[in-house]
Every structure is written in structure tokens, then in C-alpha cells.
Amino acid sequence: MFVPGMWRIGNALGSFPDIRRLQQDMNRLFAEMPRAGGQEYPAINVWGGEHDFVLTAELPGIDPSRLDISVIGDTLTFKGSRDFEALQEGETYHRQERSGGRFSRTLQLPFQIDAEKVTAKYEKGILKLTLPKTAIEKPRKITIKAE
Amino acid sequence: MEPIKSDIEKQPAPSPIATERTKPGKVFVPIVDIRETKDSMVLIADMPGVDERSVDITLEKNILTITGSVKPQVFENHTMAHAEYDIGDYERAFTISDEVDRDGIAAKVSNGVLRVTLRKAEKAKARKIAITAA
């Protein structure tokens, strides 16, 4: 069937960033459905930019000085532990939903990470890592010399 | 309130507590520990993304409500590449007994963990009763 309008709709989508984003969000929503059962701890969100990626993780109540972050090539690993104060004598739990222990997560990114320039920030229980791309991975503008 | 599923994933609140929300966005039930010490009840809630300015604790009749508002994160010139958790506000309510001293409630937030200390009322503390011989 000849539908001349179809391609134009496809192109038009790209000119509305919000619609494009909505489409990406929907794709992600469905692509990640099966993981609902077993999730790794901590849960992470990753944001991609031209020069770097930003990773955030919800890690309430940890000691940031005991967080171990390492970068090798395109692989990032961060590990740490969440400790709990033990109950004193005569204290009891009425409800215990929070849990502690050690955690470790490894993530492979689609580029080489500039390990020297990785920055980490821990604020309000959220860990934020900025992972810059190495110079070789960054987009470069090539100028055309006129003869 | 329904029991929290034993999953590490954030749990969406079943419904905003008997009120209609006018603010868009999701609401989550923070996971909590409640421990009883000799003279107080301590409520510890994991609420990543909140600080002392964005948490509200209200006590009305015998319902203690904790709410926390979290600003969605936006990074300029970045698009979401992978998402495992959602960002939203927190809300949870607890019924407290008369054993709590209403004026002795203290709270603090550090590293996204809220800690509310509810002092036990004098009458609720265990007392040794002396028996006098007739």
C-alpha cells in the first residue's frame, strides 16, 4: 500500500522533543516490565548527555566515606554497606521493613569513562555520579577547508 | 494500611490518604522501622531525596502523618537512558496510642532518613507499685 504521509509523520515526531521523549519513556516502560520481580540494589537511573552520563542511586542512610567507587575502561562498580544500629538492651522492634547489608553494582557504559574526571556527590540519601566520556569519544566538529 | 510487600522496590501508595491530590506526580510509601526503647518510640523512615525543609510531620487526633516532597531530577541536555526507580513524594500515616506524649515529639532528617522520636507519656512508663502490708 502506498502511504506517502507515513514517512513525513515519522520525521515530524523528531521535531517535537516532548513527543519523542514520551515515546522513549513508553518503550522503556514496556521493555523493563519483567524486571519488576527481582531488582538489584540499589536501583539506579542513568541519564545520557553529549559529554557525560549521570547516574543516580537512592541510598538512604549510608556512610558516604565507606562507599567504594571504581572505574575500569567502560565499566563502573560501586559498592558499600548499609549498617544498622543494633538494638540496645530492653529495646524491641514493632515493625522492621528496612534492611541493611552490603551491596555492589557493576554497570557497563557504551563508552570509555574518563576515570580521572569522575565526580561523586552524596546528598539527601541520593548518590550522584557524573561519568565523563574520554576525549576520544566526544563528538568533534570537522571543519572543511576550502581549496 | 496494606502490608508492604517484601520487595526492595519502592512501593506506590495505595491511594493518597483520603484526600485528592492537586499536585501531579507519584506518591510512595516510605519503608519504616519502629522500635521501642525504654522511654520512647522511634520511627525511622527511608525517604531518599528529602531534607529537613521538605518533610512535614503532623499529628491530628491520634494519626501521625509523615509527608515528604521530592523535586524531580532534571539534568540539562541529558536524556534518560535507563530507569529503575521513580521519583515522587512520600506519604504514610500511623495511628499512635495514648501512651505517647503529644508534646514530646522530635524529628530529624539526615542522608534521606527521617527519624521521629515519640516520647512515652509518664503514665505509660512502667512503674513499680509498692505493696503495703495491711
Q: How much is the pLDDT for B1?
A: 46
Instruction: Judge whether residue A7 has pLDDT over 60.
Output: no
Contact by Cβ (8 Å): A23, A13: yes
Where is average pLDDT lowest: A97-111, B20-34, B85-99? B20-34
Chain B partners within 8 Å of A40 (Cβ): 84
A54 or A29: whose pLDDT is higher? A54
A45 touches chain B (CB under 8 A): yes
A97 or A29: whose pLDDT is higher? A97
Cβ atoms within 10 Å, residue A15: 8
All cell numbers assigned to B46: 527511608
Q: Which of B33, B37, B48 sits opposite A58 (nearest CB)?
A: B48
Question: Which whole-number Å values give the CA distances from A102 to A59, A65, A138, B99, in the listed order?
Answer: 12, 14, 35, 37
Q: Which of A21, A45, A94 sits opposite B83 (nearest CB)?
A: A45
Q: Domain map of chain B by residue range?
A: 11-124
Q: How much is the pLDDT for A33?
A: 55
Residue A32 pLDDT class (50, 70, 90 cuts): low
Residue B2 pLDDT class (50, 70, 90 cuts): very low
Nearest CA in chain A to B6: A97
State the count of interchain CB pairs (< 8 A) between A and B. 126
Q: What is the DSSP string of A61-93?
A: T--GGG-EEEEETTEEEEEEEE--PPPPTT-EE
Strand partners, A129: A55, A120
Chain A partners within 8 Å of B38 (Cβ): 90-91
Instruction: Judge whether residue A31 has pLDDT over 70.
Output: no
Return d(Cα A44, Cα A126) in angstroms, integer.
Answer: 10
Each residue of A55-67: b (16+ CB within 10 Å) or e?
Answer: bbbbbbbbeeeeb
Stretch B88-93: mean pLDDT, rounded? 92
Average pLDDT of every residue of chain A: 82
Q: Is the pTM of this model over 0.90?
A: no
Stretch B86-115: mean pLDDT, rounded? 89
Q: Quick check: B48 and A88 CB within 8 A?
A: no
Instruction: Judge whether residue A59 has pLDDT over 80.
Output: yes
Q: How much is the pLDDT for B10?
A: 77
Q: How much is the pLDDT for A11?
A: 54
A76 or A34: whose pLDDT is higher? A76
What CATH number labels B11-124? 2.60.40.790
Instruction: Judge whether residue B31 has pLDDT over 90.
Output: yes
Instruction: Judge whether residue A121 has pLDDT over 90.
Output: yes
Q: How much is the pLDDT for A10?
A: 52
Each residue of B52-80: b (16+ CB within 10 Å) or e?
Answer: eebbeeeeeeeebebbbbbeeeebeebeb
Q: Which of A98, A124, A126, A128 is best to mutate for the B interface (most B CBs within 10 A)?
A: A124
A83 touches chain B (CB under 8 A): no
Distance, in angstroms, between A7 CA and closest chain B CA?
Answer: 25
How high is the ipTM of this complex? 0.77
Set out the domains of chain A in order of their start, with CATH numbers. Answer: 1-39 (no CATH), 40-85+101-138 (2.60.40.790)
A61 touches chain B (CB under 8 A): yes
Tell me the residue type at B99.
Answer: E
Q: Quick check: A25 and B80 CB within 8 A?
A: yes
